[in-house]
Amino acid sequence: MITLHQSPTDPAFVQDPYPFYETARAHGPFFRWADYDLVCTGNAAAVNAIFRDRRFGREAPPEKAPVIPDHLRPFYAVEAHSMLELEPPRHTRLRSLVLRAFTSRRIEALRPEIETLTHELIDAFPEGDFDLLETFGQKLPVIIIARLLGVPEEMAPDLLRWSNAMVGMYMAGRDRAREDRAVAATEAFVAFMRSYVEARRKDPRDDLITSLIQAEEAGERLTTDELITTCILLLNAGHEATVHTIGNGVKALLESGKALGDPEKGVEEILRFDPALHMFTRWAYEDIDVMGVTFQRGDQVGLLLGAANRDPGVWEAPEVFEPSRAAKPLATFGAGLHFCVGAPLARLELQVALPILMSRLPGLKLAEAPVYADVYHFHGLKALRVTA
């Protein structure tokens, strides 16, 4: 297995990670990424297989559980209840309870609100050139997830700020200042959600928080701490990736000069071509062979979603943005047990909002070359300055 060196904070990589992925692909399905000291794969079949194989999981085996420094305990106290980080049986219980509240009917019922909000945000666009991320990409998903949960809409700027600080814990080049910001945001977020959950226990409403409180299966309910973590997870995951996807998608449309076309096909191509999240890791729970590479219990593997989505074994000319491309299964939302709970909401927001945006602003064009932010494992723009 080849070892490759590539700093995830290198400016050239930040702007275009795909050449590195293709260099790695040329050496086989797996390689060792020296900068992470991690075996990684961008092979679509390997990524899909590991996502679905119960011999791999998110939760570290007990002997590999990291020692948490005192200053990070508040952050990891929240993570301890996140279904994103847990395996069965706790994951099964949490996910089944959440899905009893986060139903497809509830998500589809948001369609008129997404349409109305999209028009309202476009109506408020300033004259001249402006940042589409700030005026549209950030606002739409955070307002929708706030409304869905039943959190006051005027809290959206705080939610955005807290979320941005918390996801800093997953970015390359993390330092003590970023950790301190994440912990402060976590404590503020938890305090707000705890008061809000308690208010909803006393005064139920027609919102997701109330539904999560009332969700019950086989006599099981979510504890207050589980409720708080679930709401934070839904808020963070429910808009962070969608913000980046709107930015990356509009960038791809404007740079290619191609029409979105059929919203479902076009959105799937946006999700494939330049996804918002580029790496997810899994732990091996036993000794296992994958495509000739042996993982021992306690080994970690990096799944490169951005690379898997451009695997030429699956897609013809994968480096080409083609909105009319026939949709195929993507790595973007994961697969198997941890398939993204919010995928239907993200798809709905994109399928509703992007056609309205492009039809309302047929003359939309870039005002300056977009620049990606140094946020790996995420992949999103600093800004998207456009003129309408």
CA dihedral 228, 233, 239, 244 (to 10 degrees): 150
Q: What is the DSSP string of 190-235?
A: HHHHHHHHHHHHHS--SSHHHHHHH--BTTB---HHHHHHHHHHHH
Q: Where are the alpha helices (DSSP H) in 215-315?
A: 224-256, 263-273, 305-308
Neighbour tally for 43: CB within 10 Å: 24
Tokens for 323, please give them: 């909105």
Spatial separation of the C-alpha atoms in residues 227 and 13, rounded to whole Å: 38
Spatial separation of the C-alpha atoms in residues 259 and 266, rounded to whole Å: 9
Mean pLDDT, residues 203-216: 91
pLDDT at 284: 98
pLDDT tens digits, residue range 290-349? 999 999 999 999 999 999 999 999 999 999 999 999 999 999 999 999 999 999 999 999
The number of angstroms, rounded, from the C-alpha of 364 to the middle of its chain's C-alpha atoms is 26
pLDDT tens digits, residue range 364-379? 999 999 999 999 999 9
Spatial separation of the C-alpha atoms in residues 287 and 264, rounded to whole Å: 40
* DSSP assignment letter at 19: H
Residue 239 pLDDT more than 90?
no
State residue 109 phi and psi, 5-degree precision. Answer: -65, -15
pLDDT at 335: 96
pLDDT tens digits, residue range 12-49? 999 999 999 999 999 999 999 999 999 999 999 999 99
pLDDT at 290: 97
* DSSP assignment letter at 4: E
Question: Backbone dihedral region of 336: left (phi > 0), alpha (psi from -120 to 50 degrees) or beta?
Answer: left
pLDDT at 217: 72
Name the percent of the chain lying above pLDDT 70.
Answer: 100
Mean pLDDT, residues 125-145: 95
Residue 219: band (very low, low, confident or very high) from pLDDT cuts 50, 70, 90: confident
Averaged pLDDT of the chain: 95
> CA 52, 267, 348: angle at the middle one, nearest 5?
85
Q: Would you call 219 exposed, middle or buried from its count of C-beta atoms within 10 A (0-12, 13-18, 19+)?
A: exposed
pLDDT tens digits, residue range 173-186? 889 999 999 999 99
* DSSP assignment letter at 309: T
Residue 238 pLDDT more than 80?
no
Question: Backbone dihedral region of 152: left (phi > 0), alpha (psi from -120 to 50 degrees) or beta?
Answer: beta
Spatial separation of the C-alpha atoms in residues 52 and 297, rounded to whole Å: 17
**What is the number of helices (H) and of strands (E) in the chain?**
16, 13
* Cβ pair 249, 350 in contact under 8 A: yes
SS3 content of the chain, % helix, strand, coil (to 5): 50, 10, 35
Delimit the domains of the chain by residue range.
3-387
pLDDT at 172: 86
Spatial separation of the C-alpha atoms in residues 273 and 115, rounded to whole Å: 25
The full length of the chain comes to 388
Q: Give the HSE-up count for residue 303: Cα atoms under 13 Å, Cβ half-sphere.
A: 27
pLDDT at 250: 98
Residue 110: band (very low, low, confident or very high) from pLDDT cuts 50, 70, 90: very high
Residues 6+ apart with CB under 8 A from 178: 168, 169, 171
| E strands, the chain, in order | 3-4, 30-33, 38-41, 56-57, 129-131, 279-284, 288-290, 293-295, 300-304, 365-366, 371-372, 381-383, 385-387
* Cβ pair 384, 273 in contact under 8 A: no
Q: Is the peptide bond before 89 cis (omega within 30 degrees of 0)?
A: yes
Spatial separation of the C-alpha atoms in residues 215 and 238, rounded to whole Å: 20
pLDDT at 323: 98
Residue 240: band (very low, low, confident or very high) from pLDDT cuts 50, 70, 90: confident
Buried b (16+ CB within 10 A) or exposed e, 247-284: bbbbbbbbeeebebeebebbbbbbbbbbbbbbbbebbb
CATH number for the region 3-387 comes to: 1.10.630.10
Rg (CA), the chain: 21
Name the percent of the chain lying above pLDDT 90.
Answer: 88
> CA 191, 76, 285: angle at the middle one, nearest 5?
145
